[in-house]
Amino acid sequence: MSIRKGDLVRVMSGRDREQMANKTSRVLSVNAVNMTVTVEHAHMIKRHTRANPSKNVKGGIVEKEAAIHVSNVMLVCPGCNKPTRVGHTVHMEGTHRVSTRVCKRCGVTIEK
């Protein structure tokens, strides 16, 4: 996957597209098996939780982020500050092949 934990992304489709218009958010977690990402303040859902005094958890209705499919978000390039597709370049570093992520729009390498 081209998106990693900690990247800045923009929600491009889904129910949060209008709410998150022109806003970038950080990726909280990535699930490569299901091809989903959890984005900060996007796709908020409500869950009922039971109080657990031993873990210091209060009961009630908790609002938290749910997973979004990776195709619904786009990585924001740190160079041009626009949503972009991600390319990969492979170069040799000593005797090892190293793959780096590259912005398709401006060609800047994307560091984590």
Q: Is 84 exposed, middle or buried (0-12, 13-18, 19+ CB in 10 A)?
A: buried
Three-state SS for 111?
A: coil
Over residues 11-52, the pLDDT tens digits come to 998 888 888 778 899 999 999 999 999 999 999 999 999 999
Does the structure show a pLDDT above 70 at 112?
no
Domains of the chain: 8-83 (2.30.30.30)
Over residues 59-82, the pLDDT tens digits come to 999 999 999 999 999 999 998 999
pLDDT reported for residue 17: 86
Q: Work out the average pLDDT over 81-99.
A: 90
pLDDT reported for residue 44: 93
In the chain, DSSP finds a helix count (H) and a strand count (E) of 0, 11
Distance CA 77, CA 86 (A): 9
Does the structure show a pLDDT above 90 at 6?
yes
